[in-house]
């Protein structure tokens, strides 16, 4: 598998980084659908793995600086309240 140059997630602002998370997450989703009907397409599979890595890295970078995206990002320093008492995705402030 080809090596992808590392992305500068830490240089991005909050909105830009969130868009990067969403773009990579959407790419993963779209590749999953494609692979469901083309399960032996090696190019699609390697694209999925690259995008999956970017998605994970961007999500981790976002969570570290701006708050958890999943329960896996919740930590004792910020506590549960930082997860449960901050804007939910259907609020304008979260987008």
Partner 1 sequence: MFQYEKALQYPVKIARPNAKLAKMIMSQLGGPNGELGASMRYLNQRYTMPLRELQGLLTDIGTEELSHMEMVSAVICQLTKGLTPEQLEAQGFADYFVDHTAGIYPVSAAGVPFNAATFQSTGDAITDLNEDLAAEQKARTTYDNILRLADDPDVRDVIRFLREREIVHYQRFGEGLRLIQEQLAKYAPDPENPYAFNTSFDPMPVRPQPRQGAPAGVSLRRK
Site residues (vs partner 1, CB under 8 A): 25, 83-90
Coil, strand or helix at 51: helix
CB of 70 to partner 1, least distance (A): 8
* Comparison of 42 and 90: residue with beta carbon closer to partner 1: 90
Give the CB-side neighbour count of residue 91, counting CA atoms within 13 A.
Answer: 6
DSSP H helices, 1-95, are: 14-37, 42-66, 81-84
Closest CA to 22 of 69, 67, 92, 88: 69
CB of 2 to partner 1, least distance (A): 26
* Comparison of 10 and 76: residue with beta carbon closer to partner 1: 76
CB of 81 to partner 1, least distance (A): 8
């Amino acid at each position: 598998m080809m090596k992808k140059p590392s992305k500068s997630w830490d240089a991005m602002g909050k909105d830009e980084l969130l868009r990067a998370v969403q773009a990579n997450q959407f790419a993963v989703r779209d590749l999953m659908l494609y692979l469901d009907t083309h399960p032996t397409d090696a190019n699609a599979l390697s694209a999925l793995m690259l995008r999956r890595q970017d998605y994970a890295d961007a999500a981790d970078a976002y969570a570290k600086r701006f708050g958890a995206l999943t329960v896996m990002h919740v930590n004792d320093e910020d506590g549960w309240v930082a997860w449960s008492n901050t804007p939910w995705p259907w609020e304008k402030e979260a987008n």
